[in-house]
Chain A
Amino acid sequence: MALVILSLLFYGGLFLYQSNLKKNLENIKNEIINLTNSRNPATEKIIVDVDKRVSLLKDLFTNHFYWSDLFKKVEELAIPEVYFSKAKFSISLGKVEASLEGNTNTYTDLARQIVSFQEEPLVEKVQVSGISLAEEKGVKFTLSVIFSKNILLRKIND
């Protein structure tokens, strides 16, 4: 008899505990609904779009070219005795290709010019062609210089 009463009492306790748990579960579910309802999907979409745009801009700025840095470097490397009258710069296969047509007074100056480019760490290759005496005075030539693409890039802060 006592066992039956005890098991019934146990069930009563379980029933009360179950009701309490159900109420708790309902409360948590309501709070989740409230939290979800308090969100603003329109603003969230804007934020997601802005985030994507920022990532894209960061990528574009990381690969943004600063050609003025290249010209500054070429000026540093050009010796005073050389005059460049024609130049072509282009980007190909991740390198900057430069073709410089110029004049100088002597072959020695031309050699100094070649060495000046060759000693620059950002220069990967130097070739010279079309070396001949100019009609008026001095020596004319075409220098083909391959620069690392890094010459156009600057480090940006996060």
Chain B
Amino acid sequence: MIKNLINIVLILAFVAVIVFLDVPGVQNVLNLRKDIASQKEIFIQAQTLGDKLEKLTKSYEENKDSVEKSNYILPSDEEVATLTVQFEALAFEQGLVLEKIEFTTLKQEITIREGESQPPPPNYQILNVTTKLAGTYPALKNFLRAVEENIRLMDVDSINFSVSSEETPEIFDFDLSLNTYYQ
């Protein structure tokens, strides 16, 4: 009778250990392994990102001069004063007379995409420059080449020219409209 009772107690104890200790323990181990696997993945991603960032930082440090130059190509402001000086210098170097220069800020058309309440800010702004120049046709061509290669990016939009007077057929009046950019 006592032996049977001991057996029942032992079986109950065995079941209790299995149910209350071993099963939750296995469950915990499985959960921990799952957590470790996900954390390892996060670690690998962080490490890969870190390596990439390190390379990018190195590349940035090596090309800092070029990055600085990009500020001249696309400045953060209209910089009308600098532009005026640049145009005067460009015209003078090519033998053209800069008779007039005007600046107008152009508004960019931005479309609102579906699901967006506000349009995204434009990546850059456009400053339109209209100039009146006088000089020879070869001088205009050289001026255009200089504008194309100017450090501050400029795109000519329209060119009109006509002979200044019949007495001097080699001298033309040029009307140039061009766009330059800033952020």
A residues near B (Cβ < 8 Å) are: 1, 3-4, 7-8, 10-11, 14-15, 17-18, 21-22, 24-25, 28-29, 31-32, 35-36, 38-40, 43-44, 46-47, 50, 52-54, 56-57, 60-61, 63-68, 71, 85-91, 101
Q: Is the Cβ of B157 less than 8 Å from the Cβ of A32?
A: no
Q: A57 with B157: in contact, given A21-B36, A25-B36, A28-B39 (CB under 8 Å)?
A: no
Shortest distance in angstroms between B109's beta carbon and chain A's nearest beta carbon?
Answer: 15
Q: Is the interface of A mostly helix, strand, loop or mixed?
A: helix
The A-contacting residues of B in range 31-52, CB under 8 angstroms, are 32-33, 35-36, 39-40, 42-43, 46-47, 50
Shortest distance in angstroms between B172's beta carbon and chain A's nearest beta carbon?
Answer: 9
Chain A residues, CB < 8 A from B97: none
Q: A39 with B10: in contact, given A64-B153, A66-B148, A88-B160 (CB under 8 Å)?
A: no
Q: Is the Cβ of B158 less than 8 Å from the Cβ of A85?
A: no
B residues near A (Cβ < 8 Å) are: 10, 13-14, 17-18, 21-22, 25-26, 28-29, 32-33, 35-36, 39-40, 42-43, 46-47, 50, 53, 56-57, 60, 67, 70, 73-74, 123-124, 141, 144-145, 148, 153, 155-163, 169, 181, 183
Chain B residues, CB < 8 A from A24: 36
Chain A residues, CB < 8 A from B29: 14, 17-18, 21
Q: Is the Cβ of B32 less than 8 Å from the Cβ of A21?
A: yes
A101 to B162, CA, bound (A): 9
Chain A residues, CB < 8 A from B26: 14
Specify which of A7, A28, A68 is in contact with B22 (CB 8 Å cutoff).
A7
Considering the complex of A and B, which 7 residue pairs feature the smallest CB-CB distances, nearest first? A14-B25, A90-B158, A86-B162, A21-B32, A7-B17, A11-B21, A28-B39
Q: A71 with B144: in contact, given A35-B50, A57-B70 (CB under 8 Å)?
A: yes
Q: A89 with B158: in contact, given A4-B17, A10-B22 (CB under 8 Å)?
A: yes
Chain A residues, CB < 8 A from B153: 57, 60-61, 64
